[in-house]
Amino acid sequence: MNTHHQQSSGTPTVMPTFYIPHGAGPCFFMDWQPAGTWRNMETFLRGIADTLPARPRAIVLVSGHWLAPKFTVTAAEKPELIYDYYGFPPHTYEIHYPAVGDAGVANHVESLLRQAGLAAGQDGDRGFDHGVFIPLKLVFPDADVPVIQLSLRQDLDPKAHLDAGRALRSLREEGVLIIGSGMSFHNMRGYGDSRYTPISAEFDEWLTAAVEASPADRVARLAEWEQAPYARHCHPAGAEEHLLPLMVAAGAAADSTGTKVYSETIMETTISAFRFG
């Protein structure tokens, strides 16, 4: 498909940005009960590449599983995998995703963040956590697009993450795909509990309206996401790291329209994905 090839020179290809769910641990690569629990999410993730205007030159991915004192990017040439999930079948600790890093993109990301007044750095030892390699194994199964992981900032300030995304918006015109990887509902006590079905649905309705609002309203609403109905039931205080990758994706969206591109009730809770542009 032509989606996997760069457009001819002339009109620059502007990449969209995404906020995607990455599921539960290695859920897509193992047996689960009930068996079809993650099937639709898997199908959504597998379909993303074909919706892109061109093949990405690189991916910058923000996962809910890496918090650092300042925004930090992976700088390893061949990052290892961090199997940061527990109690799963042995074969899930042998999953491979040999994507390479890209020093040029890493340097550029750090530079853009610094230019925006945000403290930033690089980590040459950090590998890819499962919030990176599990979904990317579905989106780009051949691991043939260079990947840079960007950390969250451990103070979990939503405005700072919107600002970080805004600082990186020019990457989209350079063929770089920016992805926030988390879960739009992430209260471990709520999964599988039907009391959280209406709670998560109401929060998701608010989140969708915020994402699909005009760009200025979108930023204002997301910066104050704690005011959303049931916000802290869906993302407990100090544990909102699975929501904050959305802020980076939304910040990088600039004036692009936001749209909900996937939504489903899984384990009694509403989980959604959003695309900008």
Domain ranges of the chain: 12-276
Name residues whose C-beta falls within 8 Å of residue 109's C-beta, 6 or more positions apart in sequence.
60, 73, 120, 148, 150, 168, 171
Name residues whose C-beta falls within 8 Å of residue 62's C-beta, 6 or more positions apart in sequence.
149, 150, 151, 152, 178, 179, 180, 181, 244, 245, 248, 249
| CA distances in angstroms from 274 to 31, 100, 157, listed in the order given | 27, 26, 20
Q: How far apart are CA 10 and CA 41, in angstroms?
A: 35
Q: How far apart are CA 28 and CA 193, in angstroms?
A: 22
Fold for 12-276, please state it.
Protocatechuate 4,5-dioxygenase; Chain B (3.40.830)
Q: How far apart are CA 274 and CA 276, in angstroms?
A: 7
Q: pLDDT tens digits, the chain, 277 residues: what are they?
A: 334 444 444 457 899 999 999 999 999 999 999 999 999 999 999 999 999 999 999 999 999 999 999 999 999 999 999 999 999 999 999 999 999 999 999 999 999 999 999 999 999 999 999 999 999 999 999 999 999 999 999 999 999 999 999 999 999 999 999 999 999 999 999 999 999 999 999 999 999 999 999 999 999 999 999 999 999 999 999 999 999 999 999 999 999 999 999 999 999 999 999 999 9
| CA distances in angstroms from 276 to 47, 98, 139, 179, 214, listed in the order given | 16, 28, 17, 10, 12
Q: How far apart are CA 250 and CA 248, in angstroms?
A: 5
State residue 11's pLDDT score.
59
Q: How far apart are CA 99 and CA 114, in angstroms?
A: 26
Q: How far apart are CA 226 and CA 199, in angstroms?
A: 14
Q: How far apart are CA 135 and CA 125, in angstroms?
A: 21
State residue 13's pLDDT score.
87
